[in-house]
Structure 1
Amino acid sequence: MLRYSTVPVTPFQQNCSIVWCDETMEGAVIDPGGDLPRLLAEANRLGVTLKQILLTHAHIDHAGGTGTLARELGLPIIGPHPDDQFWIDGLAHQAQMFRFAPAEPFVPTRWLHDGDTVQVGRSTLAVRHCPGHTPGHVVFHSAEARRAFVGDVLFAGSVGRTDFPGGDQQTLIDSITQRLWPMGDDTVFIPGHGPESSFGRERRSNPYVGGT
């Protein structure tokens, strides 16, 4: 079964998740935006052996620590979708703009596309391409655990911003209603910021997508 622990990182309090297979204790880090010593300490506390880095998208608070972590631990970088290449290319500028520590450049080991899967030990994560916040944003879904790691697509009571380059409000809403809702009302999602919620709760009460 897939397990996870969420660690808020960076001044933006971005929800970085350590996910692992409880049979093999092999794991991955989803969106290591920064504060790498904290993330490594948590993986060590959990007894998880990190095998890969998974990225939902390439904004600085989600991807800023990726290059350093990949280099230090020799980890492959999986994701996001190739349409976020320009955000990866601009990480240094993003770091400067938002006063983050300098971000090491990186090249994803594997780009992700809608319908792909990623193995974490013996657990499988399904990949959905969910553009709108960024054009190359992806979401990771564990059907067995009834969990989805949605980055900045959807939040408890809100949705992702679409005023950044490549963002589009209608595309984001379509991603939520066409790609996330079919995962089931009982699926709990871990957003990029703030508390967890369920798709059912957001369908009922979220002012941006409620009733869709």
Structure 2
Amino acid sequence: MTPEAPVPASEHFDVAALSAPQRYKLLTAVVVPRPIAWVSTLGPGGEVNLAPYSFFGLMGTDPAVVAFAPGNRPDGTPKDTALHIGPGGEFTVNLVSAALAGAMNETATDFPRERGEARAVGVALAPGVRVAVPRVALSPAALECREVQTVTVGRTRVILGEVLGLHLRADALADAARLHVETAALDLVGRLGGRGTYTYTRDTFDLERMTYAEWRAGRGETED
């Protein structure tokens, strides 16, 4: 791509002027694919809540921080996940493989507060190590987290969590000593759009990052 390339036609949207449903429809169709945080938390009575969120990402590694955005119920009250975590609370982000996509979708159902999704759907759980919150036993990777800050902008709530521990399925480790992960073995899925469309992570390609000297050589530039 060069500066001389023609600029394709585009449509500009004043996002601030759109309604919340319009913004959701437009932006979730554009920011894709989105990884899925299948978040497990503990309710007041010890029931395990399990809900998926695709407004999610890894924000850094020193310390390791993840962010996800649990919204509100239609009546305006916080969803169970946000209520259970609270300040300094624990949660586990379970990553979703293709084999778990169906169960993940079931837990997105708006269950009553007193009914835990994990038990209702029949999702097998395993104990946490650094946190008291169980993880999804069949998840290929699970991040044990503790809330460090919750940022609220209007009606958008973003929970920041420090990653304290990582469970990784053995067949996804090519070399544990060297921390070499076979990412393809995780067979994770991502979210497309805002409703029921998902994507696999099986079709990949590699691009090597260049040094500035390599970039100049590729452009045929020489030293001054």
TM-score range relative to shorter protein: under 0.3
TM-score normalised to the size of structure 2?
0.25
Which is greater in Rg?
Answer: 2
RCO (CA 8 Å, sep 6+): is it higher in 1 or 2?
2
Q: Which has a greater percent of strand? A: 2
Q: Which has a greater percent of helix? A: 1
TM-score normalised to the size of structure 1?
0.26
